[in-house]
Amino acid sequence: MSVIIELFTGLAFFIYGMLHVWASADFWQRVYSAKNDRVVQIGTPIIGVLLILLGLGITLIAYSARIKFPDIDPAQSFVYGIQNMLSPGMLALGVILIFAAVMSSADTIIFVLATNFAKDGVARLKGHSLHADELRRYTRLSIIGIILIGTILAYFFRNIIDITLINAGIAMSVTPAIATAFKWRLNTNAIILSVVIGLLYTFFWIVQGKIGPETMISPVFVSTFALIFFQKLLKK
C-alpha cells in the first residue's frame, strides 16, 4: 500500500512540475521583461529543463532519505533528508539558499499580484486604464495590503510544507485557463468559473485538513473539466 501511495505522490509532483511554470510568478516576471516573443519561446524550454533537473535533485535526496530512514513519512522525505544527511556546514548553506529563494519568490509574487490587482482589478472597477501616477499609487497600496494579509495567514499556517502544497493547489486551479488561453480564445466567464471551482475544491481539502501532494495537485483536473464544460456551455 505504501508503494502505491508513493507512486501517486511521485505522479502528482511530476504533473505539478510540468504545469507549475504556467502559474509561476517569477516566470511571468521574466516574460513581461523579455525583449521579444522569440526570447520567451527559446527561454521557456530551457526553464523546463532546469526545473526537471531541480526536481531530479530533490527526488534523489528524498529517496536517499527513504532508503536510510525507511520509517519516515514519505511526504517529509526531502526535508528530513537535508536535516539528517547533510553536514552542519552544508545544512547551514542549504538553509541560507532556501531562505534566499523564499524571499526572492515572495518579493516577486507580491509585486506581480499587486501589479495585476492595480492594472486589472482597480482599472476594471474604474472603467478605464490607470494613469502612471494612479498605477504607482494603487500598486503601492496593493503591496501593503498583500503583505498584511500574508502576515495574518502566516500566523495560522506555520508549516512550510503545508504552505508549499497549498500554493501548489492554488497554482493548479489557475493553470488550465492560463495554459489553454495561449492556444484558444476562451470565454471570460468560463475562465472565471474554472478558476473559482478549482479554488473552492482546493479550500475544501484545506478545511478538511487533508493537505497532501495528491489533494493539492488534483485541482488541475477539476479546473480543466470545469473549463471545458463551461466553455462549451457558454458558447451555445
In tens, the pLDDT along 29-64 reads 777 667 777 887 787 778 777 777 877 777 788 788
Does residue 212 lie in a domain region? Answer: no
Of 216 and 19, more confident: 216
* Residue pointed to by grid coordinates 471551482: 197
The answer to whether 8 and 214 have CB atoms below 8 angstroms apart is yes
Which CB contacts under 8 angstroms, 24+ apart, belong to 130-133? Answer: none
pTM for the complete prediction? Answer: 0.65
Does residue 67 lie in a domain region? Answer: no
Cα separation of the two ends of the chain: 46
Identify the pLDDT of residue 7: 55
Does residue 151 lie in a domain region? Answer: yes
Identify the pLDDT of residue 196: 92
For 209: left if phi > 0, alpha if psi spans -120 to 50, otherwise beta; the answer is left
Give 63-115 pLDDT, tens digit per residue.
888 788 888 777 677 777 777 777 777 777 777 877 777 777 777 778 878 88
Residue 201 has pLDDT above 80, yes or no: yes
Element of type H or E holding 31:
helix 25-33
How does the average pLDDT of the chain come out, rounded?
78
Cell of 97: 539558499
Does residue 145 lie in a domain region? Answer: yes
- Could you give the number of structural domains in the chain? 1
Identify the pLDDT of residue 58: 77
Residue 3 has pLDDT above 60, yes or no: no
Q: Which positions ≥6 away from 32 have C-beta within 8 Å?
A: none
Residue 6 has pLDDT above 60, yes or no: no
pLDDT band at residue 1 under the 50/70/90 scheme: very low
Residue 127 has pLDDT above 50, yes or no: yes
Does residue 1 lie in a domain region? Answer: no
CA distance 177 to 59: 29
Range of the domain at 91: 87-156
pLDDT band at residue 144 under the 50/70/90 scheme: very high
Does residue 49 lie in a domain region? Answer: no
Top mean pLDDT of 114-123, 133-142, 192-201 is at: 192-201
Of 23 and 116, more confident: 116
Give 145-175 pLDDT, tens digit per residue.
988 988 888 787 777 777 878 888 888 888 8
Does residue 202 lie in a domain region? Answer: no
Query: What percentage of the chain has pLDDT greater than the value 90?
Result: 7
Element of type H or E holding 232:
helix 219-235
Question: Quick one: which of 156, 154, 144 has its CA closest to 117?
Answer: 144
